[in-house]
Chains A and B, each alone.
Chain A
Amino acid sequence: MIITAVLTLGLIGFTFAVLLAFLSKKLKVETDPKVDQVNEILPNINCGACGFSGCNPFAEAVVKEGKLFNGCLPGGSQINEEIAKILGITATKSKVEKIVVCRCQAEVGEKKISTTYKGPKTCKASHIVGGAIDCTWGCLGFGDCVKVCPTGALVLKNKRIEVIFDKCIGCGNCVTECPRDLFEYAPFKEKMKLCYVACSNNEKVLGVKAVCSRGCIGCTLCTKVEDSPYEMKGNLSYVNYPEAKNHQSLDAGKNKCPTKCILDLNV
């Protein structure tokens, strides 16, 4: 009885094993070793949260395009960072051409909140009804962007988004996700200190002051320093990065700002 069972199942196993061994040689697909490396660290549950049909297609696409897309959701930021390492894209290597800045850094207390919002706690939802803060241009602080950042470079602190520039790989998920388009690409220059204007409010002085103490009031003082890389678009200041030749001019403009809304990008 036992012998029959062992022989039967053993024989079946043997037959299938031979078949599998043969087929795996015959139908072998040559793969990029990087794809195998990525596949190794993926959770391999083929959930499809990344938008691809499985872990292998995701690994292939990531290696082929050299970017993380939406990252691996169940893998988390730890696995995404490791994938970024394999692909050679990290903020400290020169492969990264651009990172993002968040053009609103006002915290609770600096941006006025005189409404009570009781809807779903997401930026997208609150934006539809006009927002949960007084400023109709600024950061709503619910962290939709934090959820889509594959490397955990975005942190929500006191209803303000802090960008950990070392972790940013410039994937652009936050740019797409933010309903108020607060994220802007900035070039990453390892050797040069850069600044950015942390405000997106394009209204005039009184309009800005009524809703926030850290906003750009359109005073144009930053544009008037020597070799200024700052330029006005309407009542809002922008850094023209290709024009920024040295960090002294950036610093000069930054020091002139009365509301201190120009901040350092990297140090």
Chain B
Amino acid sequence: MKNFLKGLWKEHPVFRQLLGLCPTLAVTTTAKNGLYMGMAVIFVLVFSCLIVSLIKKIVPNQVRIAVYTVIIATFVTIVDIFFKAYIPEMSKELGPYIPLIIVNCIILGRCEAFASKNSVGKSLIDALGMSLGFTWGLFLLASIRELLGNGTILGITLLPSGYNPLIVMILPAGAFLVLGFLVALMNKIEQAK
């Protein structure tokens, strides 16, 4: 259980480990984008960790990185194909960031640090926890940016029409700002414990 929960809070991949920041900053312009990116990562991380953990005993040390990368790239390509075929508008929104999941630190990081050294069951749970944590983190960040920068969340207008949107929130600078505040907030909560 603790194995699962740590990815959701204590060892949160974005807010505590500061991993996978590239897609975090780039795709969180709208809550919908953040959510779909999160779901893509859940698929990739869970399946990659599963396979890596299954074959960990037969992979020689020297080709570890190459093998893991090929596996991760395969699953990312599957996600890319799937998006293009069944959710083309999201594929266009997220653009190059879906293929970039291959080099997302979280994926290779978890495969290397955990899945390659633990049982299949534990690796699966760890992957689920981490990727779900990533998803809620992205959703939160994206919601804040969309709300302040556009007055909407998931396209639903929540702020009165008189609200003058903070354009900076939609730009990269806004992403860094909100991320910074969220990391600080999480640190504060942890310290107060």
Contact = CB atoms under 8 A, between A and B. Distances in A.
Does chain A touch chain B in the assembled complex, meaning CB atoms less than 8 Å apart?
yes
- Size category, B interface: under 10
Given A21-B62, A44-B113, A45-B112, 4 more contacts: A13-B66, A17-B63, A20-B63, A20-B66
13 contacts: A9-B70, A13-B66, A13-B70, A16-B66, A17-B63, A17-B66, A20-B62, A20-B66, A21-B62, A24-B62, A43-B113, A44-B113, A45-B113
A45 B109 contact: yes
A156 to B, nearest CB: 14
Contacts of B62: 20-21, 24
A37 B63 CA distance: 20
B15 to A, nearest CB: 15
A32 B186 CA distance: 41
Contacts of B191: 121
Majority secondary structure, A binding face: helix
Nearest to B114: A43
A195 B66 CA distance: 58
Nearest to A16: B66
Contact-residue size bin, chain A (C-beta under 8 Å from the other chain): 10 to 19
A20 B69 CA distance: 15
A20 B113 CA distance: 22
> Top 9 nearest A-B pairs by Cβ distance?
A24-B62, A45-B113, A20-B62, A43-B113, A20-B63, A44-B113, A17-B63, A16-B66, A45-B109
A62 to B, nearest CB: 19
A9 B71 CA distance: 12
Contacts of A16: 66
A44 B63 contact: no
B66 A44 contact: no
A45 B62 CA distance: 17
Interface string B89-121: 000000000000000000001001100000000
Interface in A169-206: none
Contacts of B112: 44-45
Interface string B53-81: 00000000011001000100000000000
Contacts of A24: 62
Contacts of B66: 13, 16-17, 20
Interface string A36-57: 0000000111000000000000
Nearest to A55: B113
A44 B111 CA distance: 11
A9 B63 CA distance: 15
Interface in B109-141: 109, 112-113
Contacts of A43: 113
Nearest to B70: A13
Contacts of B109: 45
Interface in B16-47: none
Nearest to A42: B113
B52 to A, nearest CB: 14
